[in-house]
Amino acid sequence: MNIFEYFFLNSQDLCFISNFDGCFEIVNPYFEQKLGYSQKELLEKKFLNFIHPDDTAASLKEMEKLKEGEVSLGFTNRYRKKDGDYLWVEWNASPNQADKKIYAIGRDITKKKIDEENGQKYIQELRNSEQHIKAIFDNAPDPVIVIDEKNNVVKWNPKAETVFGWKTNEVLGKSLIQFIIPSQFKESYDKEMEPFLTKGFENLSNTSFEIEAKNKKGIEFPISLSISSYKIDEKKYYFICFVRDIAQNKKILDELKISENFLDSIIENFPAIIFVKNVSDLRYVRVNKVVEEVFGFSKKEILGKNDYEIFPKEEADRFVANDKKLLDTGKLLEINDEPAHTKYKGIRIFETKIVLVKDSIGKPIYILGISNDITDRKRIQTELDNKTKELARSNIELEQFAYVASHDLQEPLRMVTSYLQLLEKRYKDKLDQDAKEFISFAVDGSNRMRTLIQSLLEYSRINRANAFENFDVNLLLKQVQKNLSATIAENKAIIKVDDLPEIYGDPILINQLFQNLIQNGIKFKNDKDPEIYISCKEEGNNYLFSVKDNGIGIQKEYIDQIFVIFKRLHGRDKYPGTGMGLAICKKIVERHGGKIWAESEFGKGSTFYFTLSKK
């Protein structure tokens, strides 16, 4: 074996000899081993058949060069292995023009090629991610600043330019953190950064804190700083600082705090029970101090509990049923006369309203309840109701008494009067002047008593009067004027009547009402001839009637007293009467559900007003 053969057989390179047609004539064992083909499968085959289709053209060209006699150094192509994979080979080949053969030695560079490809890919990926990071950095909605261990700025994004006012070129390489932090806060900044320096960057890779910052114009504002450290190599560290301007947040928080305080003070000082329950578990999350006062439980004893842990089961069942009803309907729920146990005051009665409190998307979060202890009010109301009933009963009794008494008194009175008159007639000649005068006083007195008894009887009869009906007040007033025609004529009175409505009531009583008022208007006249003006206007559900005269008027201080039974402002000698007229008027108006009152200018006349319901 010559040296060439030895080299050929033992070489760790791919070696072959081919003819000028490109057919393998000899391949070495390493070639066989690398491609996985045997000598037999390769010999006399064209090597072009084993080359990657993409490399065929270049390989053919290289073959031509060799055939021309040129040496080929460092040409690379891919060979197909028997298993289908390809092998990258770098060839050195030379032709032998004499025997028209090509001698080729190739080195397997597959690994190198793959490494190269991967390397390029890696570089591309690196470039891509650099682009991504740059895009994030440039478009970050908040300032992002990179500094080195000495606090010198390495990177400064566009948002940092707008927030702090300094351009990138003004800050690069400068200890900027030192000058965006106002001097009085530098110490606290250093304190926050201290752990990085003392504990080492790897043990504490990030921190965040709030601090006051300032911009180029010197305006100070609060920021939150999130700082992370990262390592380039064993010795080199950087800090990436994410800055957030929290002035707006702070303002919102301040406003929130104010409205929270506002709400707290309303809830605490509201003069009724306020409670708040969670919708999820119906446990109390808030109660005000009235709850403590009324129920005797401290807030501590209530908060976090549900109704079953505070009240007897039957009560808790009721409260929970109300909550469920509220949750089902979503509508404000009013619960009246609801009994509940208290710690020291036994069972109290409550009037409660509950509503749902919803979050921003309309989901119910809380049940808010406002409640009043109405136990005392209820008791007073019941007492009042009882007293009113009692009063009504005793009024009826009194009326009955007045009715019976005045009715029964009439007869003996009539007897007294007639016997007195008989006495006067029969013993006329035997009685002296004094006796006659005494008898006449007695007759006069008993007459007056009869009138009084009659008006009392009239008064007590009002509530036993007839059924109500619809009637025209215009017609009724015509009748009244007819009844009073003698008085009207005698006093030269002028009665003016507006157009009046039809009303629903007792026509006999209303007749009497107008008659009394008109009579008074005439009776209490001035030196002028009396003028009475009757009109009516609508006022809501009522008619407001007025009877106006031009008489003597009524002094202000007496104006409310004139409706009282037997109350008179003048002596009988000046204006005759019983003092019952207006009391009767009042009772008639009240029987119709209305009100009566007078207004007057003393000396110039009076107006009597009364209301009657339209229905």
Start-to-end CA distance of the chain, whole Å, equals 143
Rounded to whole angstroms, how far apart are CA atoms 245 and 371?
A: 45
Among 606, 610, 611, 612, binds ligand ADP (CB under 6 A): 606
Task: Considering only the stretches 49-57, 63-71, 420-428, 580-588, report the one whose residues sit in contact with ligand ADP under the rule CB under 6 A.
Answer: 580-588
- Judge residue 565's burial from the number of C-beta atoms within 10 Å of its C-beta, 0-12 exposed, 13-18 middle, 19 or more buried: middle
Task: Considering only the stretches 32-40, 183-191, 238-246, 548-556, report the one whose residues sit in contact with ligand ADP under the rule CB under 6 A.
Answer: 548-556
Task: Considering only the stretches 21-29, 38-46, 259-267, 549-557, report the one whose residues sit in contact with ligand ADP under the rule CB under 6 A.
Answer: 549-557
Among 569, 590, 591, 609, binds ligand ADP (CB under 6 A): 569
Rounded to whole angstroms, how far apart are CA atoms 159 and 144?
A: 7
Identify residues 46-75 at the interface with ligand ADP (CB under 6 A): none
Among 121, 299, 570, 574, binds ligand ADP (CB under 6 A): 570
Residue 71 has, within 13 A of its CA and on its CB side, a CA count of 5
Least separation, in Å, of the C-beta of 529 and ligand ADP?
15
Site string (513-532) toward ligand ADP, x via CB under 6 A: -------xx--x--------
DSSP state of 235: S
Q: Does residue 487 touch ligand ADP according to CB under 6 A?
A: no
Among 245, 373, 506, 549, binds ligand ADP (CB under 6 A): 549
Q: Does residue 295 touch ligand ADP according to CB under 6 A?
A: no
Q: 107 and 13 in contact (C-beta within 8 Å)?
A: yes
Three-state SS across 553-603? CCCHHHCCHHHCCCCCCCCCCCCCCCCCHHHHHHHHHHHCCCCEEEEEECC
Cβ distance to ligand ADP smaller for residue 312 or 603: 603
Among 552, 588, 596, 612, binds ligand ADP (CB under 6 A): 552
Task: Considering only the stretches 127-135, 142-150, 423-431, 552-560, report the one whose residues sit in contact with ligand ADP under the rule CB under 6 A.
Answer: 552-560
Angle at the Cα of 227 from the Cα atoms of 221 and 232, rounded to 5 degrees: 140
Rounded to whole angstroms, how far apart are CA atoms 444 and 125?
A: 133
Say if strands 531-539 and 494-497 run parallel, antiparallel, or are unpaired: parallel
Closest CA to 399 of 387, 388, 407: 407
Question: What is the sign of the dihedral through the CA atoms of 70, 73, 75 and 79?
Answer: positive
Task: Considering only the stretches 203-211, 217-225, 538-546, 578-586, report the one whose residues sit in contact with ligand ADP under the rule CB under 6 A.
Answer: 578-586
Cβ distance to ligand ADP smaller for residue 62 or 549: 549
Q: Does residue 612 touch ligand ADP according to CB under 6 A?
A: no
Q: Does residue 551 touch ligand ADP according to CB under 6 A?
A: yes
* Tokens 């406003």 found at: 255
Residues binding ligand ADP: what is the number (CB under 6 A)? 21
Element (H, E) at 191: helix 183-199
Among 562, 589, 596, 612, binds ligand ADP (CB under 6 A): 562
* Tokens 């010198």 found at: 152
Tokens representing 217 are 């114009």
DSSP state of 147: E
Least separation, in Å, of the C-beta of 563 and ligand ADP?
7
Among 554, 588, 596, 612, binds ligand ADP (CB under 6 A): 554
SS3 label, residue 601: strand
Cβ distance to ligand ADP smaller for residue 214 or 568: 568
Q: Does residue 577 touch ligand ADP according to CB under 6 A?
A: yes
Least separation, in Å, of the C-beta of 539 and ligand ADP?
22
186 — phi, psi (to 5°)? Answer: -60, -40
Element (H, E) at 383: helix 375-426
DSSP 327-356: HHH-S-EEEEEEEEE-SSS-EEEEEEEEEE
Among 352, 515, 578, 611, binds ligand ADP (CB under 6 A): 578
Which residues in this chain contact ligand ADP in the complex, by CB under 6 A? Answer: 520-521, 524, 549, 551-554, 562, 567-570, 577-583, 606
